[in-house]
Amino acid sequence: MSELSIEHCSKYYKKNGEPMCVLKEADMVARGGRFVSIIGPSGCGKSTLFNIIAGLSKPSEGRVRLDGRDITGESGHVGYMLQKDLLLPWRTILDNVIIGLEIRGVPKKKARERALPMLQKYGLKGFEQDHPDALSGGMRQRAGLIRTLLDDKDVILLDEPFGALDAQTRLQMQNWLLQIWSDFQKTVLFVTHDIDEAIYLSDEIYVFTPRPGRIKAKIDVGLPRPRDEKTLMEDRFLHLKRELLLMLREEREPSG
Amino acid sequence: MAEKSVRDASGPVIEDRDREQAKIRRRAFVGQMIVGLLIIFLWEFLTWIGWLDSYYWSSPSTIVRTGWVAITEGTLLQDLAYTSGATISGFILGTVVGSALGLSFWWSDLYSRITEPYLIAFNAVPKLALAPVLVIMFGIGFDSKVILAFLMTVIVASIAAYSGVKNVDRDLEKMLLSLGAKRHHVFFKVVIPSSVPWMVSSLKINISLALAGTIVGEFISSRQGIGRMILYAGQILNIDLVWVGVVVLSALSIVMYLGTVWLERLLMRGRTPKS
Ligand SMILES: Nc1ncnc2c1ncn2[C@@H]1O[C@H](COP(=O)(O)OP(=O)(O)OP(=O)(O)O)[C@@H](O)[C@H]1O
Ligand SMILES: [Mg+2]
């Protein structure tokens, strides 16, 4: 279990000749095995932050460290599930999830043998040979996450994986994710718009301000695990929910 | 009651799209055959009663007879082999080289930007007008026909592949890089497969362009080929033989078209086509 730390990361883009700040001096730590959520309004730089952590984009300033080692700008150290499911439409589900293994040079046959039980255990039994367009949104997200898990990194970044799902499927997927998380003991960084989702899943929540995204608060959830539907009714849950709602409402109000 | 309407003695009614489609396809095929036969009969009939002048229009039966003579006593089959050989060689060469060229643009923005205008300019050149020069350059043999068919197809193929490259989802690239991929992984696992529908969409046009190139090559100067046969038959006013050539070329064109359809199916298994 690895610890990820983000030290003073900022990102500027040039827009109409002026530098525009989309992420400002983010400092955060995700300790080993923790489930950490990031919540904030659209456009506050959440995906930008993930791209920086995954090494797909360089921060304008600041560093990213994995267990103390500087990995700023290097890709391939953390698992990253982007905002879209990004399955390859010409590959079957089975062949989609093994692509990370293929890249590492694992022979296709071996990779398939390794992936098959995973698919069957985590809700994709019977869909292994289907193409992605034959699957529901929730199924596709499962496949996307299994692909990330098979890549076997200690830290995984999930960018709004359930954003496009209906409420019912969403809750189902949240429980599914919690099961996977406890089975695999990963450090998870999770982006969401949804307050309930953030509280239900996380150990800690970072609240971002609107653009330029800064960290406004860090909240320790402190709800016992394992969590289930009853958690949603607990006083602590409702208290946190109110706190977060107020915090995000403040942000929406124009401040001057 | 409502339940009863969807059941019969053998159980519930199961909707089977594939079967319905197959049924429609079979019926359409029969219909197509009937229409074809009708046209041939009408042609035969109208030339027989003299409404169509059989000197210009020949007639199906004469065409078959003349064709048979051309096969048994002439060189029709060799000519056919020559023409289809040149067409298919040029087509394959043009498709492979053109696709490779188009795909190669993915590797460098600068290189693709420098090259693209020349590609478009060359596409605008009427390649067939160059035929006389090519015959002088490459001789009156097989090579000049292949080169013409190649030139007719290569640019279309490269433009198609390049469109595919331009439409590659950037996020797929990102996803792969996040899994630790190098650029060549992205190229072979994402860029090429996601460009396949674009490349495939050019095959059908290209096979007929290749055939046109070959025939023009044969018209200009050749010792063999269906094009040469047609030109020769026209010169000696053997219009029946001209018709034989036209019919054989049409048949060849249809067969090659079906070949590309088959190739398309093969390459597009499990995907939706890009029309
Ligand atoms: N390459 C770029 N050039 C210029 N601006 C960019 C670039 N990439 C992102 N931005 C801008 O940065 C801001 C933050 O984008 P980002 O995608 O990180 O937001 P987000 O918090 O993930 O939003 P959402 O919740 O809608 O996904 C946006 O306003 C976006 O327009
Ligand atoms: Mg985003």
Q: Are residues A4 and A74 in the same domain?
A: yes
User: Rounded distance, CA A28 to CA A44, Å?
Assistant: 16
Mean pLDDT computed over A15-34:
92
Q: Band the pLDDT of B275: cuts 50, 70, 90.
A: very low
Residues B18-63 have pLDDT tens digits of 888 999 999 999 999 999 999 999 999 999 999 999 999 999 999 9
Which residue from A25, A29, A21 is spatially nearest to A3, judged by alpha carbons?
A29
A62: nearest Cα among A215, A198, A218? A215
Q: At what angle do helices B76-104 and B142-166 cross, to 10 degrees?
A: 30
Q: What is the full DSSP assignment across B246-268?
A: HHHHHHHHHHHHHHHHHHHHHHT
Same-domain pairing of A55 and A97: no
Instruction: Give the closest ligand to the alpha carbon of residue A40.
Output: 1
Q: Which residues contact A164 (CB under 8 A, 6 or more apart)?
A: A137
Atom 28 of ligand 1, residue of closest alpha carbon: A43
Q: How much is the pLDDT for A253?
A: 61
Which amino acid does the sequence have at B139?
A: G
ipTM, interface predicted TM-score of the complex: 0.88
| Pairwise CA distance, residues B7 & B11, whole Å | 5
For residue A54, the chain B residues in CB contact (below 8 A) are: 178
A106 and A201 share one domain? no
The whole-angstrom separation of Cα B52 and Cα B50 is 5
**Is B171 in contact with A82 (Cβ distance < 8 A)?**
yes
A92 and A29 housed in the same domain: no
Judge if the beta carbon of residue A22 lies within 6 A of ligand 1: yes
State the pLDDT at residue B14: 82
CA distance A100 to chain B (A): 6
Q: Indicate if A56 and A181 belong to the same structural domain.
A: yes
Asked whether residue A171 falls in the same domain as residue A206, the answer is yes
Same domain, A93 and A209: no
A108, A135, A152 - which closes a domain: A152
CATH number of the domain bearing residue A178: 3.40.50.300
Number of domains in chain A: 2
Question: In this structure, are A27 and A88 located in the same domain?
Answer: no
CA dihedral B228, B233, B236, B238 (to 10 degrees): 180
Question: Strand pairing of B7-8 and B11-12?
Answer: antiparallel
| Look-up of token digits 């025939």 | B215
pLDDT band at B9 (very low <50, low <70, confident <90, very high): low
pLDDT tens per residue, range A121-161: 999 999 999 999 899 999 999 999 999 999 889 999 999 99
Q: How far is CA B66 from CA B25, B230, B237, in A?
A: 34, 13, 14
| DSSP conformation class of B206 | H
Which of A69-73, A143-147, A207-211, B258-262 has the lowest average pLDDT?
A207-211
Same domain, A106 and A183: no
Of the pLDDT bands very low, low, confident and very high (cuts 50, 70, 90), residue B69 is very high
Question: Which of B186, B199, B176, B194 lies closest to B271 in space, CA to CA?
Answer: B194
Chain A residues with CB-CB distance to B185 below 8 A? 103
pLDDT of residue B130 exceeding 50, the answer is: yes
User: Which pLDDT value is given to residue B4?
Assistant: 46
Mean pLDDT, all residues of chain A: 92
A2 and A70 share one domain: yes
Predicted pLDDT at B192: 95
Instruction: Please tell me if residue A104 touches chain B, with a CB cutoff of 8 Å.
Output: yes
Q: What is the mean pLDDT of residues A12-31?
A: 92
User: Which residue type sits at B63?
Assistant: I
**Amino acid identity at A246:** L
Q: Is the per-residue pLDDT at A177 higher than 60? A: yes
Whether the predicted pLDDT of B5 surpasses 60: no
**Among A152, A174, A197, where does a domain finish?**
A152
What percentage of chain B reaches a pLDDT higher than 70?
A: 95
Domain edge (last residue) among A115, A131, A152: A152
pLDDT at A217 over 70: yes
> Using alpha carbons only, what angle is made at residue A228 by residues A224 and A230, rounded to the nearest 5 degrees?
90
- Integer Cα distance of B109 and B220 in angstroms: 41
- Its domain, for residue A141, covers 80-152
Q: What is the pLDDT of residue B1?
A: 43
In this structure, the answer to whether residues A252 and A160 fall within a common structural domain is yes
A2 φψ region: left (φ > 0), alpha (ψ -120 to 50), beta (else): beta
Asked if the Cβ–Cβ distance from A76 to B180 is below 8 Å, we say yes
Percent of chain A with pLDDT over 90: 82
Q: Residue A256: pLDDT band by 50, 70, 90 thresholds? A: very low
Residues A40 and A86 in one domain: no
Which residues make beta-bridge pairs with A26?
Answer: A9
Tell me: the pLDDT tens digits for B185-224?
999 999 999 999 999 999 999 999 999 999 999 999 999 9
Domains defined along chain B, listed by start: 13-57 (no CATH), 60-267 (1.10.3720.10)
Of A80, A88, A133, the CB nearest to B172: A88
Phi, psi at A157, each rounded to 5°: -105, 125
Nearest ligand atom owner, CA of A13: 1
Q: How confident is the model at residue B273 (pLDDT cuts 50, 70, 90)?
A: low
Local confidence band at B272 (pLDDT 50, 70, 90 cut-offs): low
pLDDT given for residue A1 in this prediction? 75
CB contact under 8 Å between B272 and A133, yes or no, is: yes
Question: pTM for the whole thing?
Answer: 0.86
Point out the ligand 1 atom lying closest to the alpha carbon of residue A40: 21
Please give the pLDDT value at position B269.
76
B80, amino acid identity: L
Q: Is the pLDDT of residue A109 over 50?
A: yes
Burial of B219 (0-12, 13-18, 19+ CB in 10 A): middle
**Predicted local distance difference test score (pLDDT) of residue A212:** 86
